[in-house]
Amino acid sequence: MIFLVTAFKGLRKLKGIFFDRFYTPIAKVVFLLNGVEFQPGLHVNGLLNVNVTRRGSVTIGNNLSINSGEQFNVIGRQQKCIVWVEGSLIIKDNVGMSGVAIICNHQIIIGNNVLLGGNTVIYDTDFHSLEPTLRSSRKHDRLNARWGAVIIEDNVFIGAHSTILKGVHIGENSVVGAGSVVSKSIPSNEVWAGNPVKFIRKVTN
């Protein structure tokens, strides 16, 4: 039995070593086909779901690290990373993300040294109108959906399973606790958490 366990773990390790070398090149091809501008240092584990429309643009800085899918995002809800862009998405240097969904209809900016925990979602739109009469028309529903740019400044850490909604501005060095729903802006150097998100304490060195 010990031999079988050892053999199984060894094969699993070899499989990982073999396939891991292909994920980053595949991601680069996917980005290029979608018109994504990216800098050196891109590292991807797993396959991505990327859709940049003709009106969309994506700019990625140095050293973006992505874990995508059940083998590389093992904290639950193991989805692929989803990036859907019809507006302008800017991701700066040294950003890490795992199993995220970024839906950018208008504008999302992610600063330097930002960590997006597993299954974080970022939306810059409500997707639908709040008026029931407008929702009966697909065209008017979409056109009347409220939106607001999302800005995440440098050195921010977003905990796993958090939701960042339209119009939110998260100040530098701040932390969002796991499972939070962020519908209002967060100042710099503070810890916020909860649903709805609320102030917990100042960031301490």
* Torsion angle of the four alpha carbons 38, 43, 45, 50, in this order, in degrees rounded to the nearest 10: 0
125 vs 75, 87, 154, 164, 183, CA distance in Å?
A: 27, 11, 22, 10, 11
Q: Read off the tokens for 42.
A: 């891109």
Rounded to a whole number of angstroms, the CA Rg of the chain reads: 19
Q: 187 with 126: CB under 8 angstroms?
A: no
Residues tagged active-site: 128
Residue 23 burial class via C-beta count within 10 angstroms: exposed 0-12, middle 13-18, buried 19 and up: buried
| Nearest CA-CA partner of 110 in 65, 142, 72 | 65
112 vs 21, 89, 116, CA distance in Å?
A: 26, 14, 12
Q: Read off the tokens for 43.
A: 């590292």
Question: CA-CA distance, 22 to 81, in Å (whole number)?
Answer: 17
